[in-house]
């Protein structure tokens, strides 16, 4: 593991949010469902997943680490 300050900060945040949405909306599971030919009829809530809107997200991290003075 390494620390690379100011490298790919926004990209990492984008990827994290994309993974959050994919998990909440069950996208990988839905892709497998279709690929395995299990989708036979329309259903309004089939593979709908959960809303992310109005949810609380806890972020745990160390923050930025700086050496030296204040």
- pLDDT tier for residue 27 given thresholds of 50, 70 and 90: very high
Q: Is the pLDDT of residue 69 over 60?
A: no
Report how far residue 24's alpha carbon sits from residue 4's, in angstroms, rounded to the nearest whole number: 29
Report how far residue 18's alpha carbon sits from residue 23's, in angstroms, rounded to the nearest whole number: 9
Residue 8: predicted pLDDT: 82
* pTM of the full structure: 0.66
Check residues 50 and 59 and name the one with the higher pLDDT: 50
Please choose, from the candidates 53, 65, 54, the residue with its C-alpha nearest in 3D space to the C-alpha of residue 5.
Answer: 65
CATH class of domain segment(s) 1-70: alpha beta
Residue 58: predicted pLDDT: 84
């Amino acid at each position: 593991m390494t620390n690379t300050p100011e490298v790919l900060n926004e990209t990492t945040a984008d990827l994290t949010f994309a993974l959050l949405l994919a998990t909440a909306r069950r996208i990988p599971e839905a892709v497998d469902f279709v690929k395995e030919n299990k989708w036979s009829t329309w259903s309004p809530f089939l593979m709908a997943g959960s809303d992310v809107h109005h949810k609380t997200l806890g972020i745990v991290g160390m923050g930025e680490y700086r050496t030296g003075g204040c």
